[in-house]
Amino acid sequence: NSASERSLVNQHLCRKQCFSVSCGKLGEKRVKMVLCQSMLRISRLASCPGRALLTKGNSPAIISSATRCFSLQTVCQTERRYTDKHEWVSVEGTIGTVGISHYAQEALGDVVYAQLPDVGTNLSQKDECGALESVKAASELYSPVSGKVTEKNTAVEDTPSLINTSCYDKGWLFRLELSKPDEITKLMDEKQYEEFLKNSDH
């Protein structure tokens, strides 16, 4: 019947067109198809968290560059910064995590007691906010940045030796929500802190 014939003709035309495209006879259509597929992939990338917003005309190279920049920004944001009192702080979003450096815990010796600031305490930069005691010394804690304490590490209060065994990980001391984020830029980065340890009288 006519409907069946039309269907066969359409299938034949479709196969012919696909064959022509695959053989390169319709180069322009091939390019258009590739571009469409690329733009579809780019659109999917744009919908993922942390991807750069797209505007018409952006290329995959621009997306890749933007993603690298985003990753670099994240790395920089979580980098530890140090004070001349040997506290460190790393920032994720608006929350700073505070601890003491490897040099500080080594100088203290085996820590046996940790007094940490309570949740809800408002601190200004350089405020005294707690104390650490070891078998041979005691040391005050100073806040490296301004903010409101959101959490303290109760595991350290229960097991102060965590400060010695894992000062940058399990031995962190407290967290606070930053009220003056720009203060971070005035602290020493890793390289500057290493130079400080080499050249300063501690």
- Which range among 16-25, 29-38, 87-96 has the greatest average pLDDT? 87-96
CATH number for the domain spanning 95: value is 2.40.50.100
Task: Name the more confident of 18 and 157.
Answer: 157
Query: Is residue 1 in a domain?
Result: no
Per-residue confidence (pLDDT) for residue 110, from 0 to 100: 97
Question: Domain span at residue 134?
Answer: 80-201
CA distance 96 to 75: 14
List pLDDT tens digits, range 83-109. Answer: 999 999 999 999 999 999 999 999 999
Question: From its phi and psi, is residue 109 left (phi > 0), alpha (psi between -120 and 50) or beta?
Answer: left
Query: Is residue 187 in a domain?
Result: yes
- pLDDT exceeds 70 at position 44: no
List pLDDT tens digits, range 124-160. Answer: 999 999 999 999 899 999 999 999 999 999 999 999 9
Number of domains in the chain: 1
Query: Is residue 32 in a domain?
Result: no
Q: Is the pTM of this model over 0.75?
A: no
Per-residue confidence (pLDDT) for residue 38, from 0 to 100: 40
Coil vs helix vs strand at 47: coil
- pLDDT exceeds 50 at position 179: yes
Query: Is residue 124 in a domain?
Result: yes
